[in-house]
Amino acid sequence: PSPSSVYCRCALQISLTPAPLWQLSIRLEVCLCKVRVPTSLEMHPHLTLHRHPMCAEIIEEFQKCHVDHPIKKFFGECTDLKIKLDRCFRQEKAVKRKANFEESMKFKERLQAYKKEMAEKENES
């Protein structure tokens, strides 16, 4: 296992023995349940610049604010930047949604044309 993972050993198995229901025996068995333990203490590890290129400048300002004000950030020092960041993420999502919709419409048109072409070939033979 990686250093950021811990394995717990916990599984509940109910053993049915030839006995009345009120004497149902329960025993523990070993299983491996992967539990992730965070290795970094970053507040926002998901704020990566390559994932949000439209909001890169605001992300950098927001992260700088958190570094510059380690205590004041808990009392609203960086709230204005957080609001700007949320708005930017919404705008970015709207742009991506529109691009994905346009791409899906192009794909749908190509698929319809392909189906029509295949139907015509089938009718000819």
Collapsing DSSP to helix, strand or coil, 17 comes out as coil
For the stretch 62-83, pLDDT in tens is 999 999 999 999 999 999 999 9
The whole-model pTM stands at 0.56
* 75: amino acid identity, one letter: F
pLDDT over 90 at 49, yes or no = no
Note the pLDDT of residue 20: 54
77 token code pair: 């020092």
Cα 89 to Cα 95: distance, rounded to the nearest angstrom: 10
